[in-house]
Every structure is written in C-alpha cells, then in structure tokens.
Structure 1
Amino acid sequence: MDVVKYLQRAGYTTVQKSFYAKIAEWESWYIGNVRKFHRYRIYNGKSYVSCRRLGMGMAKKLSEDIADLLLNEKVQITIQDSSTHEFVTQVLNDNNFWVMGNDYQERKAYTGTVAYIPYLDAVRVSENGEIVDGGTVRINYVSAEDIYPLSWSNGYISECAFVFYKTVETKLYAQIQIHKLQNDQYVIENHVVECTNGAGREVPSEKWKDLKDFSGLSEWVETGASERQFVVDRLNIVNNYSKDNPMGIAIFANSIDILQGLDTIYDSYINEFVLGKKRIFVAPELLYTDPLGNPAFDPNDVTFYQLPEDTLKDGGKPITEIDMNLRADAHEKGINDNLNFLSVKCGFGQNHYRFDNGSVQTATQIISENSDMFRALKKHEIVLQSVLEELIRIIARLGQKMNIPTDPDSKMVIDFDDSIIEDKQAERSTDRTDMSMGILRHEEYRAKWYGETLEEARKNLPEQNQVIE
C-alpha cells in the first residue's frame, strides 16, 4: 500500500516517499541480502552466470552492539512517587519492555527511527470519543517503515501517523492511526484499509465489527491531553539524506561503501579457499582396475580429476598436481583495515572489531580507554533518556484515567549501565575518598550509586548521617 499517497489524498504532508526507499535499503543491509550486490551476474566470456556474494553481516552486528550498550537489563528507572513507580514498573513488565525495548533499539540502529505508543486496552469510549473507563495499559512498538510524521519543528514530531498491518481471513489490512492536535488537545483517528493485491480500499467503520482484529477499534478517540500519546526514538545522528527531515538514519547509513568493501573482500577470501583447493589431474590410462576389481584410485575422492583420452599420446604427464598458493594473509589485512574504518565511522572508535581465525572478534577491554565510543554512546543516551522520561509520563497519565493515583510530574532518575564503558570500581573508590574529605555529600553518593533521587537518598541515609535541612 502507498501510505504516503493515501495521506496526501487525505490532506496531510509527510516525509518524501524516496526516504522510505532508503530505509528499505538499510534494512536489506541488515538482513544481508542487498539487491544487485549480494545477487549479481558476471560474464565469463561466453554467457552470464548468476552469482551470490558472501557477506559478513556487519550491519546486523553493529545494530546488535549499539542496542546492547544503550538499553539492557542493568538500566535502572527510579521514580520518586512510589505509587507511580510501582504502576509504571508493572506496565513495563507486562508489556515485556526490557526485551522488546532492546529489540527496538536494534531496529532503531538499522532503520534510524522507532516509536512507542502506549494506549488503554479494553476501554469504553463515548459517542463523542471521550474515554469513559479503561482496563489495561498496552504499548505498541513501531519501526521506521511504518512511521509517517505529519508535522514537526526542530526535529520534534508533534503529529504523526502509524501503520499496523494485520491479516484477517487471508486478506491483508492496514490500520492507519493518526495522532493530531485539535483545539490544543490530541485526538487519535483510526482508518482501516484493505491492502490485498494493492486494493487500497477503505473499509467503513460500521463494517469493522465484522473483522476480528478491528471489532473493538474506535474511529475517533479524544485523549483529553495537550501532550502527545506517542514517543519517537531515533539515533542522535544528523539526517544528511533529507533536509529538515525529523526521521533518524541508520548507524551505518554513511558507511555503505565500507560494508560493500568488507563483503567484497570476504567473498574473495572464501573463494580463495574454494578456488585454491588442491587437485590432481590423472590420465585415464592410470585409472585402471586390478584383476580383483579394486580401483587404483578411490572413485569417491574428489581430489582426482580424469583428463581427456589420449593425454599421454599428446605428450601429457600421467599425473599433474595443482596446488595454488592462498593469499589468506593479504585478505585478512584487507578485512581488518575495513573493519577499523567501519568501527570509526559508526562511533565505536578504533580496533573495536577484529577479523581473526575466520570470525569477527569484539574488543573486551574497558571501553573508557576509547574516548570516541564513550562520547558517541553518551550522545545517543541524551535522546534515549528524554524518550524514556516521556514514555513514563504518558503511562502515568493513562494510569490517572484508570483512577490510579499516579503523578506524571514526579521526579525520576534513569541510570544507564555504563559498567562496560567506565571502570566502576575505580570511580566508586574515588567518590568514597571525596566523601570522606567532605567534597561529596553522603546523599549525593547514595543517589548516584543506588539509583535514587536526592530526596530518597536523604531519607535512606543511616541515622548518624541524616542531613538536617
């Protein structure tokens, strides 16, 4: 379905269609099957031969690594208001956020953008679109190919359309969900379009009840809030493909040439062993069988190759050995040089990856020595922290609609796990020294190392260390 054209017909302006082709290209590198590169044809002097270029899958590896660094199981979220903390934690766990969150950090790395859309499931909505009561907070996860910004300013997307594809009774449908501002409040508008065979036919809302997956869908929902009910997450990299485009770009978007070089060298490296396989050419006269029926050469041994008849009459040798020299060392150097280029270009610094013994190894030393990677990760965390904070506040607001005493404005602390980047023990020891010297206060130390707010840290200090205001 051409979503861009659909939105334009509905009077909305969105990102250029060509940018979604770019997202598809990045995804093909992530999958490791790029059209006209991994599948290609070569002319052998007589005809074209179809070939498949082997690849190292480094786009996938890059995406995995940045996702594991940004959002893992050691990230701690602490909300000062205990009721809000308990409710938000339960919602995140119920929606498998720590698994799906890491999954979508990886998707963010190869598509550039993802979105999280909390909503109330099993709610009753009045005829004018107001929520009467709600049941459960759910989270929809969306990646870049299904995100269509409608209005934005300074990179902040204020209105957006999201697409969810579902198959009902062998027919493919697209649910187009539009979040827009109306009278300074957000409303959510839903459309269902049949996509089978590119139909593009909109299904009237009165017929949704006949479609299993859309039977409880509301055509119009008023959120009653001036804040958006979706969060857009992207890598903190400038989009140099499209001016004023609020969407992000893949972590390897500006390293496609290096990925091509890596796969070209790796394919040649493997072919070096295939083409350099030892072979022995034998004249047919030597492939005899003795009187007992035993062959002179094992017929199942592929090392031997029978030469044409009369080879010996034409002055040929009875046995010719072909043992080509392998250029493995030269190939390994070429792969390692390109891995280093890729690592630097994608923010991991030098020597993060190394090709050794036929596989890619990742550096295991404390990455604080690598200032490039430290700065790049902290740069991405700036965006991710604001994303997590907004997601938590949306969940807290939805909790209020369920009559749960939550506080969307409660202070919170998000502690990203930097133990693989910084020497935590050395830093903690330094902080203890500063605390004993009076440079660092006890509650500041506790807030930093126990993931608490300053107010919580003051309350949790041992009695002899209580701070008197």
Structure 2
Amino acid sequence: MFEGFKRFWKGFMQMFGYTTLKQIVGKDITLSDKMIDAINEWKQMMNGQADWIADSIVSLGIEEGICREFADCALVEMETSLSNERLDRIYQKNISNLNENIQEGLALGSFVLKPLGEAAAEFVSADKIIPISFGDDGKPNDIAFLTVKKVGDVDYFTRFERHYFINGNLTIENKCFHSQTSRDIGLPCSLEAVEEWANIDPGPVTYPGMNRMDFGYYRNPIKNRIDGSACGVSVYESAVDLIRKADIQGARLDWEYESGERAIHVDNKALKQDKSTGRFSMEKLKKRLYRGLNLEAGKDQELLKEYSPEMRDEAFKRGLEEYKREIEFSVGLAYGDLSDVQEVAKTATEIKTSKNRKYNRVTAIQNNLYDCLEDFAAGLAFYNSMLNSGYEFSCKFNDSILTDEETERQQDRADVSMGAMQLWEYRKKWYGETEEQAKVAVQNPAEVIE
C-alpha cells in the first residue's frame, strides 16, 4: 500500500512536466525537468519517503532535523514589524507560522509568501511554483503558481496563476484546466467550474504604477548545481548520499538489536504453528523465548541450546554518528546539532570553526529571508492601497550562535571559581582533552584558565 501511494504521488507530479508547462505559458520556462525531479526527491525525503526507504529501512528524520535546526537558529529572537499599526497587525498575523513554513522552504529550495487580498496570505512551496524567468537580482520577474483541487472521485481542476510585467507594470492572469486523471493537467475550462474560483478575474489584469512583484520570494543561499538556473536548491542537497547511508546504517543497528534477542533452541514440536500460513514463527521481544530445533537431524544434537549472540551495536553506533558528523559538515551545521554531542571528539578550535560555519550559513539564510519579508510587506501595502503611504519596514536578527557559546564558557568559568565544576572538567570540555590529559594538566601550579 505504501509503495502504491508513492507511485500515485509521483504520477500526480508528472502532470506538471516541463513540456506541459511550456505549452501553457507559450514560451520557454526556467524550471527544467531536472529541477522538477530534484524537488520531487527533496519532498519525498522530507516526508520520510525517499527512494531507499523500503522493507526494514526507515527514515531517521535527518532531513527534518536539518531544516528545523536552521529555521530555529534563523528565527530565534527575530524582531520584525511595520511602522503602520493597521498594516503591522495584518503582517504579524500572516507570519505567525513562519517557522514551520521556512522549514519546508529550506527543504525544497524556495517558497513564496503571497498576499491574498487585503488581510490574508499564503505560503506557496516550491513544488507549486513555476519560475518562468528571473531578473538580474535573482528574483523571479515572471512566475506562476499552481493550485490543484480534486472534486469527487475523478475530477481534477488546476488553477494556473501567473504574475509578470507588461511595460514595467505588474500583470496577473488566471487559467483553469480540467482532467479526469491525476497524470494529465487536462484541457482548459472556466474558473467558474470550481465554486471557490468563480469570482476570480481571468485577466490579464494590469496594475499601473506597480513595478514590483506583489509577494515575497525566498531562495536558499546555495549554488544551483542541478541545472545551473536561479531556482532554489535544498539545504540538504549536498548530503543526499550521506543521509541515505545514515538511514541504512540505522537499519543495520535496528537489525543488530532484533537479531540479537536471546532465545533457546528447542524441538520444532514445541512450537505453535500458524494455522493460516503453516509457518513456525518466533515471538518478539520478551515473548521470544524459544526457537525451533530439529532433533531428528542427528542423534547427538543438544536437547536445549541457548541463542545469545555477541552484540555489535557500539560499532554500528559509531558508524552512524560518523555519518551524522559528515552530514553536519556537508550542510553547514555545527558538530553536535545532529550527532551525539558526547561523541564529538573535537578540539576547541574545531568546535569553534564549526560554530562559525553554521553562523555563516544561518546569516546568509537570514539575509535572503529579510528580502522576502520586505517584499511581502510591500505586497500587503499594495493590496491595502498603502504602498506609497510612507510606512517603514524593520527586521532584526541576533547572533546567538556565537554569543551563546561565549556565555556558556563564562558560566563554566564562574562554576570553576565557586567549586561547582572541576578545573579538569573545564579543560576536558573546552580544550578537547581526555579526562586523563586534563587531570595531568591541572597539576601544574601555573595553570590558569584562558
């Protein structure tokens, strides 16, 4: 059933292939088939449905962990507002769920925060965005959004909403398509075919004087090596193979525990047979006590024989932790963000370097998010006839990734001074020394904390 769902989902996405989209737009588009396939892969990974997930291999949720960590760090103590009180209330309401939506944007490479009239807005994920062309600033100057609605059992309606410029002025048009299969976008139809879309003007409608897009566009600060376009790339694209290895390693660890359950070999006659299948199956966990043993195979067989293999879980754990550290390095996280911080045998210099690496990546994300929110605010102002009213946009981020480490170090120094922490413990934590090395070092009377 699970495999069937994955095939259905892939088929559903195929209706938005490059050739079909090019025919709808009437010209070449930036979004290529390679990017469509990549977005599809990133989406499956984020949902725990990567191609390698099957049978005993389950997702460890590393992709979600990566996106959640970057989102939390980027938004922690973020302060943003608009100077106009009425506009600010609308703005704050619509960014209240920014964290969960930027996580999806980080996973799929980009997202759009688009006003829906005066008071409402929606987040549009990359799998529903059709970049047609980009300007020199890396922002889309011709873009379309897809909204799919299923009516009944076999009717699929797709709204194709396009935003572009005519003579430097924003223009919006809407088209509707109907199909009776999820594998084809179908034929053009009226927007009135769907009740919720009946009052939408198909256009094109041009807004004189509006020389910018009416939404905020966010793109991950990562070079696109999929097709070289300006389309956004997943924050974990560079670690796809490593995440696959980690998921497989996690399955090995699970199998080690499962296969290592203690059992006692007994004659098959002592086991109960499943009447429906005719098989002799073993119980799980605490009920798994007996295992079949065919005494008729040889006269010298033992009547009872304990099955208790040596566990190799520590070796599998070390391998899994190493994969996690490689993923942290690849995507720009700090050591210990995904891996077990107790297992990170790094010097203080290496730890600081990893913190700086993460800080640089988070700062780049914040810079792109700043532009997105500023453009979204302008879109809200446009729909509220306040674009030229003189409102001011404000957005500030902090640098807690670096300052938190220094604060923690100062606290540890205070703990050493008051006797709540041993000096050798401080050295072990901040100098990357072993317990033995730290204890030897503190024997030096001239030892001081730097």
Q: What range describes the TM-score normalised by the shorter chain of this pair? A: 0.7 to 0.9
Larger gyration radius, structure 1 or structure 2: 1
What SS does structure 1 have at the residue aligned with 2:296? Answer: coil
Cα RMSD after superposing both structures: 3.0
Structure 2 portions without partners, runs of 5+: 1-14, 272-282, 344-350, 408-450
CA separation of 1:379 and 1:78: change in aligned 2, threshold 3 A? same
Per the TM alignment, residue 210 of structure 1 is displaced from its structure 2 partner at its CA by 4.4
**Residue of structure 2 equivalent to 1:64:** 68
1:22-421 paired onto structure 2 within 5 Å = 22-35=38-51, 37-39=52-54, 51-71=55-75, 74-79=77-82, 82=83, 84=84, 86-95=85-94, 97-99=95-97, 101-120=98-117, 136-154=118-136, 155-170=138-153, 171-197=155-181, 198-205=183-190, 208-220=191-203, 221-224=205-208, 225-243=210-228, 245-283=229-267, 301-310=287-296, 314-355=299-340, 370-400=355-385, 407=388, 410-419=391-400, 421=402
Structure 1: 4+ residue segments shifted above 6 A: 284-287, 366-369
**Contact 1:335–1:355 (CA under 8 A) maintained in structure 2:** no
Structure 1 portions without partners, runs of 5+: 40-50, 121-135, 288-297, 359-365, 427-469
**Contact 2:256–2:311 (CA under 8 A) maintained in structure 1:** yes
CA separation of 1:324 and 1:195: change in aligned 2, threshold 3 A? same
What SS does structure 2 have at the residue aligned with 1:107? Answer: helix
**Contact 1:367–1:374 (CA under 8 A) maintained in structure 2:** no
> Cα deviation per residue 1:1-41 (whole Å; 9 max; x = unaligned)?
23533331241221112211111111111122222x122xx
Per the TM alignment, residue 93 of structure 1 is displaced from its structure 2 partner at its CA by 3.9
What SS does structure 2 have at the residue aligned with 1:219? Answer: coil
**Residue of structure 2 equivalent to 1:2:** 16
**Contact 2:81–2:91 (CA under 8 A) maintained in structure 1:** no
CA separation of 1:215 and 1:410: change in aligned 2, threshold 3 A? same
Per the TM alignment, residue 347 of structure 1 is displaced from its structure 2 partner at its CA by 0.8
What SS does structure 1 have at the residue aligned with 2:201? Answer: coil
Distance, in Å, in 1 between the alignment partners of 2:381 and 2:360 is: 32
**Contact 1:392–1:408 (CA under 8 A) maintained in structure 2:** no
Higher fraction of strand: 1
Per the TM alignment, residue 94 of structure 1 is displaced from its structure 2 partner at its CA by 4.0
Per the TM alignment, residue 332 of structure 1 is displaced from its structure 2 partner at its CA by 1.2
Q: Which amino acid aligns with 2:266?
A: V
**Residue of structure 1 equivalent to 2:443:** none
Higher fraction of helix: 2
Distance, in Å, in 2 between the alignment partners of 1:345 and 1:178 is: 36
**Contact 1:147–1:162 (CA under 8 A) maintained in structure 2:** yes
Distance, in Å, in 2 between the alignment partners of 1:419 and 1:218 is: 47
Q: Which amino acid aligns with 1:257?
A: D
Q: Tell me the percent identity.
A: 17
What SS does structure 2 have at the residue aligned with 1:53? Answer: coil
Distance, in Å, in 1 between the alignment partners of 2:402 and 2:102 is: 18
Per the TM alignment, residue 89 of structure 1 is displaced from its structure 2 partner at its CA by 2.0
What SS does structure 2 have at the residue aligned with 1:353? Answer: coil
CA separation of 1:212 and 1:314: change in aligned 2, threshold 3 A? same
Distance, in Å, in 1 between the alignment partners of 2:354 and 2:266 is: 59
> Cα deviation per residue 1:182-223 (whole Å; 9 max; x = unaligned)?
122111010011133145334443xx3342121111111223
**Residue of structure 2 equivalent to 1:21:** 37
CA separation of 1:223 and 1:421: change in aligned 2, threshold 3 A? farther
Higher mean alpha-carbon deviation, 59-68 vs 1-10, is at 1-10
CA separation of 1:419 and 1:64: change in aligned 2, threshold 3 A? same
CA separation of 1:250 and 1:199: change in aligned 2, threshold 3 A? closer
Per the TM alignment, residue 141 of structure 1 is displaced from its structure 2 partner at its CA by 1.6
Q: Which amino acid aligns with 1:118?
A: P
Distance, in Å, in 1 between the alignment partners of 2:257 and 2:108 is: 35
> Cα deviation per residue 1:301-331 (whole Å; 9 max; x = unaligned)?
53122422436x6111111112101111111
